[in-house]
Chain A
C-alpha cells in the first residue's frame, strides 16, 4: 500500500533523523541555556513526529502509482536549464546566459522556429539587460568579454 502520504511521511521522517544526526556536532545546551543545536533538534523532533503521523494515517490517501508524471521530462529540462544559468551567470555574463537559456527553451524544448527564437532571445536578453542594468543600475554580471 504505497500511498503518497506514506511515502512523503517516511521521507520527511528520514530527513528529520538526518538533521538530528547532523546536529550532533553542535552543543545542545540546556533547557535554561539553549545552545545552537537546541532549536534544530527540537524542530527536527517535531518534524519526525509529524512525518510518522502522516505516514501512519495516510493509508487511505492516493496511491503513489496513480500519480502521473507526464510533465516530468519538461520539468527536468527546465531544471537543467536553471542549473546551467546558475553555473554560467557569473562566468559568461548575464546577456549570453539568458540568450542561451532562451534559445534552448524556445527552440529545443518548445520546438518553435529559428526566427522567432532568435528575435525573442536577443530581444529579451539585451532588452532586460538594458532596462535593468543600464537604466535602473541593477548590478548584473558581465562576461569576460564585457558583454
Chain B
C-alpha cells in the first residue's frame, strides 16, 4: 500500500513539475475553460460552443465550455473575475455583464464582481432587439403604438426576461426616449416572456430577433421597429428607431473576457485566435443557423463599444431606480 502511495505521489509530482515548467514556455499547453454563465441552450452557451470548437483547432489544445449558472449570470461572471489570470479561464458574457454591478450598487449590495476585474478580448456577436406586438394588436406602427401609449399611460403592458434584465432595459430606453409610460410585467426568462405575448396576456415586448422571427413569419407576431443602428438582415423592411427619430440603440451582444492581470502575450494569443475564429467557415455556419449575426470587434474597439453600452445601461438603471419605492409613491 505504502509503495503504491509513494509511486502515485511521485508520478503526481512529476506531472506537476512538468506542467509548471511548461507554463513558462508557450501558451496554451493545457485545456482552456470557457465559462458560460447561463444554462445550456441559452445564447451565451450557444455562442460559446462554436467559438470553443474553432479555438480548439487554432490553439491546438482542448477548449471546454462549462456552464456556471445562477443569479442572472452573476455566479459565472464572478467566478471568472476572481479566477487566476493565466488565460486558462475565460468568460463568454452577454450585455448583462454591465447590468449586474449597477444593480448591486442600486441596492447597496457587496458587488459580486466589478467590471474592471475583467478585460475584453473580442466582441463575437451583437443583435439589436426588436419591438413586437401580437398580430391582433391595433398598433400597426411605432407611431400608433406611441400614440396609444400616450392616450392611456401605464396601461399597455410589456413582458420581459426579468427585472433589470436586458429586455427590460430596451423597453426602458424606448419609454424614456418616447416619453411614454408602460406597465412592466417581468417573467422568469425570455421564453416565458414571448409565450405571454403570444398568449395575449401582455401587449408587447422587446426581443432578440432570432427568438421571434419564426413567429413573425408564421403570422403570430408583428414587428414594429428595431433598436439597431442598421436594419437587420432577416427583416429588411423593418425600420429602426433611429430612422423614426428616436435616438436609442440597444444590442444583445456576446463577447469574450479574461480576468484582469492576464499577461499581455497570453492576451495577444487569445485575441489572435479569436480573430481567426470568426473567419472559420464552420463557425460562420454555426452562427448562421442560430440566426445570429457575427459582429466581431477586437479588444480596443470592443472596449469602446462596451464603455458606451455600459454607460447607457447604467443611466437606464438609475432612471428605473428601486422599483418598489417608485410604486409606493
Contacts and interface: CB of A to CB of B under 8 A. Distances in A.
A105 B281 CA distance: 53
Interface residues of A, number: 13
A144 B45 CA distance: 26
Nearest to B19: A146
B324 A27 contact: yes
Contacts of A59: none
Contacts of B327: 33
Interface string B2-18: 00000000001001100
Interface in B13-64: 15-16, 19, 64
A139 interface: yes
A44 B325 CA distance: 23
Contacts of B15: 145-146
Contacts of A118: 1
Interface in A99-130: 114, 118
A147 B66 contact: no
Contacts of B12: 145, 147
A146 B8 CA distance: 13
Main secondary structure of the interface of A (DSSP, over half): loop
A35 B15 CA distance: 56
Contacts of B324: 27, 29, 35-36
A145 B328 contact: no
Interface string A130-146: 00000000010000111
Interface string A88-104: 00000000000000000
Contacts of A147: 12
B14 to A, nearest CB: 10
B89 to A, nearest CB: 13
A147 B13 CA distance: 12
A112 to B, nearest CB: 15
B16 A145 contact: yes
A144 B64 CA distance: 17
21 contacts: A27-B324, A27-B325, A27-B328, A29-B324, A29-B328, A30-B328, A33-B327, A33-B328, A35-B324, A36-B324, A114-B1, A118-B1, A139-B64, A139-B66, A144-B16, A145-B12, A145-B15, A145-B16, A146-B15, A146-B19, A147-B12
Interface of B: 1, 12, 15-16, 19, 64, 66, 324-325, 327-328
